């Protein structure tokens, strides 16, 4: 995808300019800038930074942050972005037209995984990316309600392929679009995995930078099918701070490790409760659990999200937080998640090939 534009700021050329920028870590990235961007300097001293992830809004925040660094004062600095298509693990072919497939998972239900997946997709879209969202929870689809698409049905012009519905600039597909909302999906495992393959493969996604897949809780058939048959770029594991949720979340991370799917990071949801009357924040489910778990597995804590009534109300109303209050403090946390995950994807893409054996033919 071509970068839709760039931001130019005047930030005095110094001898170590490139090194300084490569080592710089913005709070939203969790990675040194040099690992998730291409940095070049021309003969006149101007610096160009090409971010390898969707960063329409983040480019502005990065420019402001770099302007405040004394050693960059007065240097022409051009910031642009472009989402790359990253390699997938051996034995799987990329899905045509889809650059990156990201699973949002939790081994335990009720931790806010779907809310996180929806707002992540919307944040990437607001950052300028082309985004799709697949609800892989066959038994309990929630995407129609969360995206304001209840009672809408997708169409098929050829009787074989399905045109996804669109909401808030995101292409959406869910089994909830195809069955009555009150109908119970009394299906065995093979039927569920077949339905997932059809939803993924028969949907006309078009050209996407990111396809976000909202997985059901657990580590069963759907998770294994997806991990083994779909070219996942990586997975994000959602948990809450209490020990019982963390115990299950660790199992989820271990599952992805076993099937060679990189874990991009951990999201700690409901990290604090925000009182709707006085605004007081309290860690009612414990504190630091998600951060400790991320450190245990050597991955970043991509976001700590509060238990806030507004998030629930906005999502239940079909206008999630990132859309309802795009410049608000709650949406800012989801934008930070999107940038951090995008940076990790850029790094993971560079590292994939190193895990593969190299065959050398000698005479």
Bridge-based pairing state of the strands 47-51 and 281-282: unpaired
Q: Does domain 98-353 have CATH number 3.40.50.300?
A: yes
3-state secondary structure of 326: coil
CA distances (Å), origin 51, targets 20, 232, 284 = 16, 21, 38
Helix ranges (H only) for 139-263 are 143-146, 189-201, 221-229, 243-258
Residue 280: how many CB atoms within 10 A of its CB? 9
Residue 14: the pLDDT is 34
| Residues 49/33, Cβ–Cβ less than 8 Å | yes
> What pLDDT is recorded for position 91?
74
CA dist., res. 238 & res. 266, Å (int): 6
Distances (CA, A) of 278 to 152, 281, 309, 313: 39, 9, 13, 18
List of residues 6+ apart from 307 with CB closer than 8 A: 269, 270, 271, 272, 273, 274, 284, 285
pLDDT of residue 186: 64
Is 49 within 8 Å of 37 (Cβ atoms)?
Answer: yes
Distance CA 58, CA 65 (A): 10
The label of the residue with tokens 């906005």 reads: 314
Whole-number Å distance between alpha carbons of 352 and 168: 33
Q: Give the pLDDT of residue 10.
A: 41
Count Cβ atoms within 10 A of the Cβ of residue 133 and give its class: 0-12 exposed, 13-18 middle, 19 or more buried. Answer: buried
pTM (2 d.p.): 0.88
| Torsion sign over Cα 320, 322, 328, 332 | positive
What is d(CA 195, CA 305) in angstroms, rounded to the nearest whole number?
32
Please count the other Cβ atoms lying within 10 Å of the Cβ belonging to residue 156: 12
* Digitized pLDDT (tens) for each residue of the chain, 363 residues in all: 444 555 554 443 333 444 478 899 999 999 999 999 999 988 877 889 999 999 999 999 999 888 888 777 777 889 999 998 876 766 788 889 999 999 999 888 889 999 999 999 999 999 999 999 999 888 888 999 999 999 899 998 888 899 999 999 999 999 889 877 766 666 666 787 888 888 898 999 999 999 999 998 887 777 888 888 889 999 999 999 988 889 989 999 999 998 889 999 999 999 988 787 887 888 888 888 899 999 999 999 999 999 999 999 999 999 999 999 999 999 999 999 999 999 999 987 654 433 444 444 444
Q: For the chain, how are helix, strand and coil distributed in percent, rounded to 5? A: 35, 20, 45
Look at the chain and count its residues.
363
pLDDT tens digits for range 9-27: 444 333 344 447 889 999 9
**Per-domain residue ranges of the chain:** 6-81, 98-353
CA separation for the pair 245, 266 (Å, rounded): 13
Residue 355 is predicted with a pLDDT of 40
> What is the distance between the alpha carbons of residues 82 and 128, in angstroms, rounded to a whole number?
10
The contacts of residue 312 (CB under 8 Å, 6+ apart) are 115
What is residue 350's predicted lDDT score, i.e. its pLDDT? 52
233: which DSSP letter?
Answer: S
Contacts of 310 (CB under 8 A, 6+ apart): 321, 325, 330
Nearest to residue 106, comparing CAs of 231, 28, 222?
A: 222
* pLDDT number for residue 240: 92
DSSP strands (E only) in the chain: 6-10, 37-41, 47-51, 76-81, 98-105, 131-135, 165-167, 170-174, 208-214, 234-239, 263-268, 273-274, 281-282, 301-304
pLDDT (0 to 100) of residue 192: 78
């Amino acid at each position: 995808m071509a970068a839709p534009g760039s931001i130019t700021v005047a930030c005095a050329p110094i001898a170590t300019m490139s090194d300084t920028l490569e080592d710089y870590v913005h709070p939203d990235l969790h990675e040194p800038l040099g690992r998730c961007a291409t940095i070049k300097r021309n003969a006149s001293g101007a610096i160009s930074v090409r971010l390898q992830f969707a960063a329409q809004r983040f480019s502005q925040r990065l420019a402001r942050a770099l302007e405040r660094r004394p050693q960059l004062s007065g240097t022409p600095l051009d910031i642009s972005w472009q989402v790359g298509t990253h390699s997938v693990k051996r034995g799987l072919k990329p899905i045509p037209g889809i650059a990156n497939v990201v699973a949002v998972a939790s081994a335990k239900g009720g931790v806010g995984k779907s809310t996180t997946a929806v707002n992540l997709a919307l944040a990437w879209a607001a950052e300028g990316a082309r985004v799709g969202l697949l609800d892989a929870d066959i038994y309990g689809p929630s995407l129609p309600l969360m995206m304001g698409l209840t009672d809408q049905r997708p169409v098929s012009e050829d009787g074989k392929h399905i045109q996804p519905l669109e909401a808030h600039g995101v292409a959406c597909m869910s089994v909830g679009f195809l069955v009555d909302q009150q109908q119970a999906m009394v299906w065995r495992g093979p039927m569920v995995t077949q339905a997932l393959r059809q939803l993924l493969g028969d949907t006309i996604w078009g050209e996407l930078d990111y396809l976000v897949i909202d997985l059901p809780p657990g580590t069963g058939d759907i998770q294994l099918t997806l991990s083994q048959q779909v070219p996942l770029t990586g997975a994000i594991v959602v948990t809450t701070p209490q020990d019982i949720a963390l115990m299950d979340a660790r199992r989820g991370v271990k599952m992805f490790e076993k099937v060679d799917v990189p874990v991009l990071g951990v999201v700690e949801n409901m990290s604090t409760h925000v009182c709707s009357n006085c605004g007081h924040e309290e860690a009612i489910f414990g504190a630091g659990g998600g951060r400790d778990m991320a450190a245990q597995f050597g991955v970043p804590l991509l976001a700590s999200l509060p238990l806030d009534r507004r998030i629930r109300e906005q999502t239940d109303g079909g206008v999630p937080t990132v859309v309802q209050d795009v410049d608000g403090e709650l949406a800012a946390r989801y934008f930070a998640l999107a940038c951090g995950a995008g940076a990790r994807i850029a790094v993971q893409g560079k590292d994939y090939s190193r895990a593969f054996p190299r065959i050398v033919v000698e005479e």
